[in-house]
Amino acid sequence: MYKRLFDVDPWKIKTNQLDKTNKRLQESLTSIGNGYMGMRGNFEEAYSGDTHRGTYIAGVWYPDKTRVGWWKNGYPEYFGKVINAMNFLSMEIQIDGVELDLATNKVENFYLELDMKNGLLTRSFIYHKDDVNIKFEFQRFLSIVQKELCFIQLQIEVLSGNPELVIKSGINGNVKNEDSNYNEMFWEEKQCEVKENHLFLTTETIKNDFNVPRYSVTGMVEHSYSNDFNTTFETKSMQSSEVFSAVLTAGTKVELEKKIAVITSRDIPEEQHVKAAEDILNNYKNETFAQHLARQIEKWRQRWKQADIEISGDDEAQQGIRFNLFQLFSTYYGEDERLNIGPKGFTGEKYGGATYWDTEAYAVPVYLAVAKPEVTKNLLKYRYNQLEGAYLNAQRQGLKGALYPMVTFTGVECHNEWEITFEEIHRNGAMVYAIYNYTTYTGDESYLKNEGLEVIVAVARFWADRVHYSKRNECYMIHGVTGPNEYENNVNNNWYTNTLAVWVLRYAIENLVKYPERQEELDVTEEELAQWKKIVKNMYLPYDEKNKIFIQHDTFLDKDIQPVTNLSEDELPINQNWSWDKILRSCFIKQADVLQGIYFFGDQFTQKEKERNFNFYEPLTVHESSLSASVHAVLAAELGKEEKAVEMYQRTARLDLDNYNNDTQDGLHVTSMTGSWLAIVQGFAGMRTNNGLSFQPFLPKNWEGYNFRVNYQGRLIAINVDTKMTQVDLIEGEDLEITISGSKKLLSVNK
């Protein structure tokens, strides 16, 4: 059922096919980004076929008024959206008066390549009409050296004929979100001018009815070009361009470089935008495309040196993991604590582009290992800074403490499905889990003690109010929740949620005991602590004595329990073939639920317990969430189910490259991209960090070997697994005792 547009290659996403039917999918897969901004793999020139042009700037969003069929008390007023911003790629080209348009023109030798090693997108083709043949080559990258800069290079070679060429290159602010609730354009023009050979456009988000700031964005363009061209400037509403024209003869090669500086009011007040953009362009005045690219390549080299996973013997797997890491880093590399990892990054509009619990549950462990601790700390601080919004969310539900939102830009909830917004509250526990994860992984307790405990206490207070005491059962319960398995809604006593709630309360108590001065500072009374302890002691955790498994929720076992293998091919995926009613009532699980808890708290359960629960729940799981496979891969590996682990890895690693869920055209599953890393590192290599560092590696049957590096408590460690052995080396840092396949080993540099 999958669709593969690009060739298999260890470092490249490349193809010789211009696939017009799957243009949106191609665009998603060739997205690039630099954490500050990003864009889909759109063509610079006009394209009259089906396409989704999308350029997005991190943290620049608009509160789109909530649209629902039936209002429920507690719904948020708006849904926040990362908005499609000005198109600064735009290079409209006319050849002898005919628009260059790959949807209709005849072209040959088409080639498209995303070079993941260097973050460079290249596209070339030969335009052919009558006696005219012209070779075009576009290259572009978003700088990770200077985040505000985008570089585009266009090289043209006339192979035959004497064509007249007109290139209109500039910025276009007439851009809409495809997912706008009321079909509005979110931007209005502030300035559109040319100043000292720099054309620029400033746009501002339109007024909103909420207490949300308006954002301004300025794009400024500098061109450098071959002498053959005559140029003029053109500005009209929302559009500023420079027009290059020349009549060329066969054999001529010309070049046009476009440097764009993008400034936003997130960093610089609007009135200083023009100066700031000019300053940046002037700073890089003497640096050509090629020169800056060399610096870009060096910086990517450093990232890869740290984070790359090399796989021998399986190029598909190799391409998958690199694509995921590349897109992940293109979305977020931790430079800005005001930002987070949107589920589609800069590659599409679906899900609003904001922040989800995916970050805490799936991305934090990866960034901890492959980037500096500050990167993860910034992710944690993001939530700390939004605590006020989380308090508001809880208050709107009539509850104490803080409820972190399902979807947000500010901490205030944006999402508007009651069964998710009000009920999928396990997300609140993931916030605390990430703090725990950071602390155990890095060994740095300072965050936990300070910002961390403030968040933990706020979340603990939420749980303490959200439970109720069931007199009949003489225990505490949590009713009306949706667990990670979103194919069931409004269930009672979801084991994962209850387990997480208890763990949060216990972790809060533990750390208040450890840091008693914080108890007073955070106004935690003894009564409150006593109540938390009572809840911890008396929380109901559904357990089935017969099968000796944890029960997903109260009435799960009353269902018609049957394995996914009972379903016929044409029923899968059930989310596209079944009614919602049928899905909800079925036993089929979208993503790890009980197993998510066992994954989080792996050290609290015996192998037998893990095995029984895995054997019970995995066969019921359809993995229709992109977040499911990785957890299953890790647990399967731990339980020695190597084949299952590999199957699950394959599902997560090439989810987008092979368009498994048939929705990658809407954008990449960015937050799920951590899954393939988790599958290899925590799965195949069995890395655990709950109690010191340990590995329990195996080598997938079809692989010849794999190696990767991780940061751990100030060390850099290299792991190499091949057919013969597992080699773990300390590259940097002090000696460290680790466990490999059950045996202790002391690591030292150069030993």
397 binds a copy of itself (CB under 8 A): yes
Minimum CB distance to a copy of itself smaller for 163 or for 352: 352
**Applying CB under 8 A, what is the total number of residues that bind a copy of itself?**
49
445 binds a copy of itself (CB under 8 A): no
- Contact present, 231 and 225 (Cβ < 8 Å): yes
- The correct pick among 106, 207, 472, 701 for binding a copy of itself (CB under 8 A) is 472
Token duo for residue 445: 């307790």
Q: How far is the CB of 493 from a copy of itself (least distance, A)?
A: 8
DSSP codes, 287-300: --HHHHHHHHHHHH
Contacts to a copy of itself from residues 498-557, by CB under 8 A: 554-555, 557
Segment near a copy of itself (CB under 8 A); pick from 133-141, 411-419, 708-716, 718-726: 411-419
Closest Cα to residue 354, out of 84, 58, 625, 68? 58
Closest Cα to residue 202, out of 285, 88, 92? 88
Segment near a copy of itself (CB under 8 A); pick from 73-81, 214-222, 280-288, 652-660: 73-81
Q: What angle do CA 384, 628, 313 make, to 5 degrees?
A: 110
**516 upstream amide cis, omega within 30 of 0:** no
Taken in order 269, 275, 278, 279, the sign of the CA dihedral is: negative
Q: How far is the CB of 495 from a copy of itself (least distance, A)?
A: 15
Q: Coil, helix or strand for 691?
A: coil
Q: How far is the CB of 77 from a copy of itself (least distance, A)?
A: 13
Please tell me the distance from the alpha carbon of residue 303 to that of residue 150, in angstroms, as a whole number.
Answer: 19
Segment near a copy of itself (CB under 8 A); pick from 45-53, 153-161, 382-390, 472-480: 472-480
- Contact present, 93 and 167 (Cβ < 8 Å): yes
- The correct pick among 207, 236, 471, 701 for binding a copy of itself (CB under 8 A) is 471
Contacts to a copy of itself from residues 549-568, by CB under 8 A: 554-555, 557-561
Q: How far is the CB of 416 from a copy of itself (least distance, A)?
A: 5
Identify the H or E element spanning 224: strand 216-225
Q: How far is the CB of 209 from a copy of itself (least distance, A)?
A: 17
Segment near a copy of itself (CB under 8 A); pick from 108-116, 497-505, 582-590, 691-699: 582-590
398 binds a copy of itself (CB under 8 A): yes
Convert 165-198 to b/e letters by CB count within 10 Å (16 or more is b): bbbbbbbbbebebebbeeeebbbeeebbebeeeb
- The correct pick among 584, 639, 716, 718 for binding a copy of itself (CB under 8 A) is 584
385 binds a copy of itself (CB under 8 A): no
- Residue type, position 216, single letter: S
**Distances in Å between the alpha carbon of 433 and those of 116, 360, 443, 452, 459?**
32, 7, 15, 11, 11
DSSP codes, 595-644: HHHHHHTGGGS-HHHHHHHHHHHGGGB---STTHHHHHHHHHHHTT-HHH
Minimum CB distance to a copy of itself smaller for 236 or for 471: 471
Please tell me the distance from the alpha carbon of residue 79 to that of residue 417, in angstroms, as a whole number.
Answer: 11
- The correct pick among 65, 72, 285, 744 for binding a copy of itself (CB under 8 A) is 72
Whether 137 sits among the annotated catalytic residues: the reply is no
477 binds a copy of itself (CB under 8 A): yes
> Active site residue: 486, 488, 528, 618, which one?
486
What does DSSP assign to residue 749? B
**Distances in Å between the alpha carbon of 561 and those of 479, 548, 613?**
23, 16, 14
DSSP codes, 252-277: -EEEEEEEEEEEETTTS-GGGHHHHH
Identify the H or E element spanning 650: helix 642-653
Q: How far is the CB of 496 from a copy of itself (least distance, A)?
A: 18
**Distances in Å between the alpha carbon of 87 and those of 42, 52, 218, 280?**
10, 12, 11, 19
Q: How far is the CB of 569 from a copy of itself (least distance, A)?
A: 17
- The correct pick among 2, 210, 543, 580 for binding a copy of itself (CB under 8 A) is 580
Q: How far is the CB of 66 from a copy of itself (least distance, A)?
A: 7
68 binds a copy of itself (CB under 8 A): yes
Segment near a copy of itself (CB under 8 A); pick from 298-306, 571-579, 661-669, 720-728: 571-579
- The correct pick among 184, 224, 301, 469 for binding a copy of itself (CB under 8 A) is 469
Q: How far is the CB of 74 from a copy of itself (least distance, A)?
A: 4
Q: How far is the CB of 573 from a copy of itself (least distance, A)?
A: 11
480 binds a copy of itself (CB under 8 A): yes
Minimum CB distance to a copy of itself smaller for 437 or for 493: 493
396 binds a copy of itself (CB under 8 A): yes
Minimum CB distance to a copy of itself smaller for 557 or for 718: 557
422 binds a copy of itself (CB under 8 A): yes
Please tell me the distance from the alpha carbon of residue 508 to that of residue 129, in angstroms, as a whole number.
Answer: 71
Minimum CB distance to a copy of itself smaller for 327 or for 416: 416
490 binds a copy of itself (CB under 8 A): yes
Q: How far apart are the first and last CA of the chain?
A: 49
Q: Coil, helix or strand for 127?
A: strand
Please tell me the distance from the alpha carbon of residue 124 to that of residue 113, in angstroms, as a whole number.
Answer: 9
Dump strand ranges (E) for 627-724. Answer: 694-695, 705-712, 715-722
Interface residue list for a copy of itself (CB under 8 A): 66-70, 72-75, 79, 396-399, 416-419, 422-423, 468-473, 477, 479-480, 489-490, 492, 554-555, 557-561, 575-576, 578-585
Q: Which residues are catalytic?
A: 486
